[in-house]
Amino acid sequence: MSDNPSYSEGDFFAVPLKTGGFGVGLAVCLGVKHDVVAHFFGPVRESVPSIDELVDLTELNSAHIEHFLDDGLRDGSWEVIGQYPEWDAYDWPIPKFGWLQRSAADSANNSPGQAFEVELDENLRAARQKKVSIEHFNSLPYEILVGSKDVEITLALALTRPGWKRKIPDIE
């Protein structure tokens, strides 16, 4: 795998799904350690779409958001489709994520722990966090850095099961 990625912020890419077909992602921020934050869009496609089929997608069309390692993009198993027309990172801010802190006492008391909203900086490192309610936490994508193979599985679930969200151990 190359250290120089063959993709950039604002690029659409196709993710082969474990259940067949492809999901589409849009890289909104690239980190310094081969990590990416992306929005993913449905529906499941039978083949890799052209850039012309994607130009009308917006943040509101996003079906899933993930922070992941870019191994699938770097090794070429995920195909780069092309740059979002007139890409402007200000139109696609880095989303806020949820993070849960649990102690042994929380587990023993059947408490969900403390929930936080996390803001990532332009290097995809936690810049700020604030304590939030469990309800608010549940509305956020969960901050967990996963590999490309995990994204292929979770994206298949997100695109084929409306309302699906990654399970967080011990609270659901």
* Residue 71 forms part of a structural domain: yes
Statement: residue 4 has pLDDT above 70: no
Structure tokens, 65: 């958001």
* Residue 123 forms part of a structural domain: yes
User: How many C-alpha atoms does 20 have within 13 Å on its Cβ side?
Assistant: 1
CA 148 to chain centre: 10
Residue 130: which H helix or E strand, with range? strand 126-132
Long-range CB contacts (< 8 A, 24+ apart) of 164-167?
165/138, 166/141, 166/142
* Residue 115 forms part of a structural domain: yes
Q: pLDDT category, 1, cuts 50, 70, 90? A: very low
* Residue 5 forms part of a structural domain: no
Domain span at 105: 11-160
Q: What is the pLDDT of residue 165?
A: 76
* Residue 6 forms part of a structural domain: no
The pTM of the full predicted model, rounded to 2 decimals, is 0.88
Question: Where is pLDDT greater, at 138 or 104?
Answer: 138
Statement: residue 26 has pLDDT above 70: yes
* Residue 170 forms part of a structural domain: no
* Number of structural domains the chain divides into: 1
Statement: residue 172 has pLDDT above 70: no
The rounded distance, in Å, linking the Cα atoms of 160 and 36 is 23
CA distances from 26 to 13, 84, 100 (A): 6, 8, 26
When pLDDT is averaged across residues 48-66 and rounded to a whole number, the result is 94
* Residue 120 forms part of a structural domain: yes
The rounded distance, in Å, linking the Cα atoms of 33 and 51 is 27
150 neighbors 68 (Cβ within 8 angstroms) = yes
When pLDDT is averaged across residues 72-99 and rounded to a whole number, the result is 94
* Residue 17 forms part of a structural domain: yes
